[in-house]
Amino acid sequence: MPEDSYSRSSIRKKALLGILISVVALVIIFHATETKVTWRAILKANVYLLLVAFLLQFLFWFFWALRIQYLVYYVGKKVSLSYAVEVTLASGFLAAITPSSAGGEPLRVKMLYDAGVGAGESTAVVLVERLLDAIFFSVALPLFVVLTGFSMKLGMEVGGIFAVSLSGFLVFLWLLIKRPERLESLAGWIERLVAKFSRKRAEGLAEKLKEELIAFRDALIMLARNPRCAFIALCITVMIWMPEFLIPSAILAAFGCKPYFLYSITAQLLLVVISLLPLTPGASGIAEFGMGYLYSNFVPQHIIGILTALWRFITYYLNLIAGFFVIKRRYIDEVRS
């Protein structure tokens, strides 16, 4: 990746923009819901349940790292769990400062490549991760929308768009596996596209791309031929997202409100899909306003502001803080030295 992508000033500007948009959105939500935050109200919160909310975020990171380690193992490579945690945190930071909430994939590929996993295998692992997430959301979103009847129209529209995108991705993977002779033409097409912008960078690109696409295809076949691996990876995927979706319920319970487990999980499913829109860094603003709108359907109005603020701190600001230390140690400090 380009060296200036990890310059201190570039990272600071992107992070500050995401934080600024998020803070402005939260101020608007607090004003619109007439939320009055006092130290007395905060001190009344159940500290143990708030700690549970933070613990759920740590579990989200842990299981994501576990899935990375597991998939890397099944493409014939090996990374430690501690390194997989670093990959998770660093990519979470990048996702928090790039448009939409899903911008960390290139960094995950790079970090796995730096750890000795081939470029094709690294790409396969990251794309399989996204495929597993897509399968989970494609099943869970309509299921919970139907079970709760919550935001039925919005849920079905979002689910429909998501299903179409998933279908297109699956067709691409099927063609890649079933028609390997198209790899050369695909690599040639990409080389010609790059040549329009930079002939120097395009030189020899097709052959290199073909090698990596073959490695990517082989890794996908290796994963697809092992149903036990696929099943375990799907189970880990469920374990990744469920702690994340339970964070708002833990916060609500901490403030003496009904946790609304089913409604909250349904709202979180919708929020994750909506947050994929590439509009603002880390989906800042989109996430906050989406949270406020969806939860206003079933949560008392006076709690929406503090719920959104705490939820965003745990799921967004913690990603920025934890991920920054990994990025700083592995890239910024290395560049400076």
104 vs 92, more confident: 92
Q: Is 166 helix (H, G, I), strand (E, B) or coil?
A: helix
Query: Where on the phi/psi map is residue 77: left (φ > 0), alpha (ψ -120 to 50), or beta?
Result: beta
| pLDDT surpassing 90 at residue 18 | no
159 vs 77, more confident: 77
In this prediction, what percent of the chain has a pLDDT beyond 90? 26
**pTM score, two decimals?**
0.80
In this prediction, what percent of the chain has a pLDDT beyond 70? 67
Residue 177 contacts by C-beta under 8 Å, 6 or more apart in sequence?
Answer: 217, 220, 221, 224
Q: What is the mean pLDDT of the chain?
A: 78
Predicted confidence at residue 3, as pLDDT, reads 43
319 vs 331, more confident: 319
pLDDT tens for 260-272 read 999 899 899 888 8
When pLDDT is averaged across residues 261-290 and rounded to a whole number, the result is 83
The Cα 211–Cα 228 span in angstroms is: 28
The Cα 49–Cα 53 span in angstroms is: 6
Predicted confidence at residue 23, as pLDDT, reads 81
| pLDDT surpassing 90 at residue 87 | yes
Q: Is 274 helix (H, G, I), strand (E, B) or coil?
A: helix
In DSSP terms, 281 is beta-bridged to: 99, 100
Query: Where on the phi/psi map is residue 258: left (φ > 0), alpha (ψ -120 to 50), or beta?
Result: beta
pLDDT tens for 152-181 read 555 455 556 556 665 666 666 666 666 666
Predicted confidence at residue 221, as pLDDT, reads 72
The Cα 306–Cα 27 span in angstroms is: 11
| pLDDT surpassing 50 at residue 1 | no
Predicted confidence at residue 195, as pLDDT, reads 61
> Is-contact 105 130, C-beta < 8 A?
yes
DSSP 219: H
Token pair for 142: 């309509």
Q: Please report the beta strands in 65-178, taking only residues with DSSP state E, as ranges in sequence order.
A: none
The Cα 247–Cα 268 span in angstroms is: 10
Predicted confidence at residue 138, as pLDDT, reads 79
Confidence of residue 130 (pLDDT cuts 50, 70, 90): confident
Predicted confidence at residue 4, as pLDDT, reads 44
179-203 burial: b if 16+ Cβ within 10 Å, else e: eeeebeebbeebbeebeeeeeeebe
Confidence of residue 111 (pLDDT cuts 50, 70, 90): very high
| pLDDT surpassing 70 at residue 88 | yes
| pLDDT surpassing 90 at residue 183 | no
| pLDDT surpassing 90 at residue 61 | yes
Question: Is residue 64 exposed (0-12), middle (13-18) or buried (19+ Cβ within 10 Å)?
Answer: buried
**259 closest CA partner among 250, 268, 267:** 250
20 vs 34, more confident: 20
Confidence of residue 53 (pLDDT cuts 50, 70, 90): very high
Residue 60 contacts by C-beta under 8 Å, 6 or more apart in sequence?
Answer: 240, 241, 243, 244
All structural domains of the chain with their residue ranges = 3-165+233-336
